[in-house]
Amino acid sequence: MHKPIRSLIRIQLKMQYANIFQKPSVVIGLVFGIIGLLFLGMMFGGYMLQIIDVMYGLLEPSGNTNVILGSLFLMNFFLIFILSLMLIMNTFYFTEDITSFLHLPVHSYQLLIAKSLNPLIYVYLLTAAMYLPVSIYYGILSGADLMYYVYVLLLFFLIPTIPYALAAAVVMFAMQFVNKGKNKDRSKVIGGIIGFVLIILLNVVLRLQQDPEQIAQVIADSAEKGGLLQMATLYYPPASLMSHILTSAGSWQSLLYFVIVLLLALFAGLIFFAAAQKFYLKGALGLNTGSGKVYSGKGLHRKPRSIISTYRTKELQTIFRTPTFFLQCVAGAFVMPALLVVIFFMGDFASATTMIKEISGSMLFVVILFANVFSVGLNPISIVSFSKDGQSWEAHLFLPLTMRQIVIAKLQAAFLINLLPLSVLFVIAVPVIQMNLWEALLWVIIALFVNAAVTVIGMVSDLLYPKLGWTEETELFQNRLANLISIVISAGAFAFLLALLLILKIPMVVSFIVTLLYISAMIVLLFYIVSRLLKTADRTSLSR
């Protein structure tokens, strides 16, 4: 490997992964992440293998089982291509550190090969999760020999190269034109929103096609007519080549196909190289966050505001103007309730209404409470109350601001942002539950109390594990113990209340009063904890 690429990879590794395992929060995050992945993998893997099982049974009589592998390679191609588009855009163009490499005397392709390290880790993880279980299970079902598994392993390394290189070329070509305005922030937000839309669409597709037998039947029917493999060959020829390699493993023909796939992967590498050399710098150079407009004097005259009001405005401006905060806390606020609807009701309001109407008064109250806690609890705004200031925190120490003013203004800003998911949920709930005025009022009051409590819980978590020394805002949302603590406290505090209400089965009005008293007491206690944490913290780093 070229020396510059080696050096660039080494520096990337040092910057991103050095000492990472010395932080307890990372280790705990990793353990939870692995458990979560295993859980998801088992769920998804089980689902996939169920489909394969049925499909194999359907296709075996006609000898068309290779369609299973063809569709697997085709699906892998599309998923890796979509994931790569998002990862490449972020890694090649939007990370803050990219400008520190642009002046170095290295070729674009050398820099981008080194920068590909991180996205390729994710791409290979996805490939391992999607491809390995299915291909191994297919081998077991077809009683394949050793050569089959050798090819499975060799293809594992080749599968991501073509979609990754093509996605990189597409992004590099497009970014030349997309960034005519050179506005990095706007492009970041648009990219993020497209990502959210894709997640929702993927969920909708999954919900529409949830019966494995039905899916298997559709694919099998298509295969019987010779349509699916034809389609795979037409749109992505390597898919059928790869399926032939595996189905005729051990023959000379499969070796020939393997060499062709290898050449195609090399050709994809060449496309990556050419795109990097020709297009990359045109898109990457000059990316900035400036408007390029000359200030016209607008807004020079402004009425003075109180300290809390001006601080709250500053908080909201920071959240709305920072792409990461905007995507996580504002745009994300709309995604979560939308996902909730897709997951639970798939937009079928009529059956949801029938379901809700069958619930008794006290149970309905529990549902309202749960929906609000879930909706607001997922928004990370208050978990970054202090941490989002980063190095600007120093200004709070020399400006004549009291800690009380700062806390109140930060809570108000987080409370206002948290009203977004609550409002979306409320708008969805009105036609579903067909609430009367009294029920709507009850919903609103509960939502406001839950919002206040969860907002202060987030602030407590942030103060317990603050992170002011970040270089990129995304670090605040990855591997942070504060996120976990907030979920644990919220879940614990509200699970107790929910359990109490479920056990007591008291009338709705009594439940309402009990809830308000419980949450009020909780807020008072949380405020006390906030003041204690601020008193005992080192004021420059907020840590203890």
Partner 1 sequence: MIQIDHVHKQYGNKKAVSDVSLTVPTGKIFGFLGPNGAGKSTTIKMVTGILPVDSGTISVNGKDITSDTIAAKQEFGYVPDSPDLFLRLKGLDYLHFLSDIYGIAADVREARIEEYSKMFSIYEALGDQIKTYSHGMRQKLFITGMLVQQPSVWILDEPMTGLDPKSSYQLKELMRNHAANGHTVFFSSHVLEVVEQLCDEVAIIRKGELLFQGTLTEMRERFQSDDSLEHIFLELTQDA
Any idea which residue has 């409370």 for tokens?
Answer: 415
Which residue from 61, 63, 105, 290 is in contact with partner 1, where contact means CB under 8 A? 290
Beta bridge partners of 183: 288
208 is an interface residue for partner 1 by CB under 8 A? no
314 is an interface residue for partner 1 by CB under 8 A? yes
95 is an interface residue for partner 1 by CB under 8 A? no
Nearer to partner 1 among residue 79 and residue 537 (C-beta): 537
Name the segment binding partner 1 (CB under 8 A); options: 7-15, 21-29, 312-320, 425-433.
Answer: 312-320
Nearer to partner 1 among residue 177 and residue 398 (C-beta): 398
Which residue from 95, 318, 362, 412 is in contact with partner 1, where contact means CB under 8 A? 318
210 is an interface residue for partner 1 by CB under 8 A? no
105 is an interface residue for partner 1 by CB under 8 A? no
> Nearest 5°: phi and psi at 467?
-145, 85
Token code pair at residue 203: 């969920």
140 is an interface residue for partner 1 by CB under 8 A? no
Name the segment binding partner 1 (CB under 8 A); options: 150-158, 218-226, 306-314, 506-514.
Answer: 306-314
Identify which of 48, 291, 300, 250 has the alpha carbon closest to the alpha carbon of residue 148. 250
SS3 readout for 135-157: HHHHHHHHCCCHHHHHHHHHHHH
Token code pair at residue 533: 């944490």
Where in 525-544 is the site for partner 1 (CB under 8 A)? 539-540
291 is an interface residue for partner 1 by CB under 8 A? yes
Q: How far is the CB of 297 from partner 1 (least distance, A)?
A: 8
Which residue from 1, 293, 437, 503 is in contact with partner 1, where contact means CB under 8 A? 293
3-state secondary structure of 166: helix
Which residue from 310, 353, 362, 412 is in contact with partner 1, where contact means CB under 8 A? 310
322 is an interface residue for partner 1 by CB under 8 A? yes
300 is an interface residue for partner 1 by CB under 8 A? yes
Nearer to partner 1 among residue 103 and residue 298 (C-beta): 298
209 is an interface residue for partner 1 by CB under 8 A? no
3-state secondary structure of 513: helix
Any idea which residue has 């299973």 for tokens?
Answer: 68
Please say whether the beta carbons of 29 and 132 come within 8 A.
no
Question: Which DSSP state fits 391?
Answer: G
295 is an interface residue for partner 1 by CB under 8 A? yes
Token code pair at residue 469: 């020394």
Token code pair at residue 51: 């489909």
Q: How far is the CB of 181 from partner 1 (least distance, A)?
A: 13
Which are the contacts of 326, defined by CB distance < 8 A and separation ≥ 6?
189, 192, 319, 320
Which are the contacts of 463, defined by CB distance < 8 A and separation ≥ 6?
386, 530, 533, 534, 537, 542
100 is an interface residue for partner 1 by CB under 8 A? no
Site map 374..413 versus partner 1, x via CB under 8 A = -----------------xx-xx-xxxxxx-----------
Long-range contacts of residues 523-530, Cβ cutoff 8 Å, at least 24 apart:
523/452, 523/453, 523/456, 526/453, 526/456, 526/457, 526/459, 526/460, 527/456, 529/460, 530/407, 530/456, 530/459, 530/460, 530/463
The site for partner 1 (CB under 8 A) is made up of 288-291, 293-296, 298-307, 309-311, 313-314, 317-318, 321-322, 391-392, 394-395, 397-402, 539-540
